[in-house]
Every structure is written in structure tokens, then in C-alpha cells.
Amino acid sequence: LLVYKNALTPFLVVECKSPQIPIQQKHGDQVFAYREILQSSYVLITNGITHICGKISPDKLDVQFIDYFPELNG
């Protein structure tokens, strides 16, 4: 799933899994591979029970895991 900030700017890449599938490192690797191509500001992995969200640093060298869902403002 991809959420755009505007018509040209990807905001959030989401990797969705079934509730029966526990989130694993390979799912993180997958969403970060998508993020690398799409250049989104945030990533989210969810199985509907567990949610892991990360904010990408402005220099794109680090990720800060956050305990909230990012807001899409203006």
C-alpha cells in the first residue's frame, strides 16, 4: 500500500500481512526495499494486530521507530 502526500510525493509505504503471520525481519527488509525505490518519508508494517512504524531521517541514513501513526498534513 502506498500513501501519497501529493500527486508526486510518496509519504508512507505499508506492508500488510495476515493476522496469522507474525512480523519478521524479512518483512522489514521488504518494506525498506520498496521505500528505497519510492523514497517515502515513513514505512509501516502491520498484520492487523502488531504495527511497526518508522520515520526516515532527512539524510535517509537512519530510521526512527515511532509509536504513533504519522499524520498527513497539507
Residue 71 in domain: no
Range of the domain at 19: 2-66
Q: Is residue 45 part of a domain?
A: yes
Residues 6+ apart with CB under 8 A from 14: 1, 2, 3, 31, 43, 44, 45, 46
Residue 74: the pLDDT is 53
CA distance 10 to 17: 21
The tally of CA atoms less than 13 A away on the side-chain side of residue 69 is 8
Number of domains in the chain: 1
Q: Is residue 72 part of a domain?
A: no
Q: What's residue 30's pLDDT?
A: 95
Residues of the chain with pLDDT under 70: 74
* 74, part of any domain: no
Q: Is 46 part of a structural domain of the chain?
A: yes
Question: Which pTM does this prediction carry?
Answer: 0.88
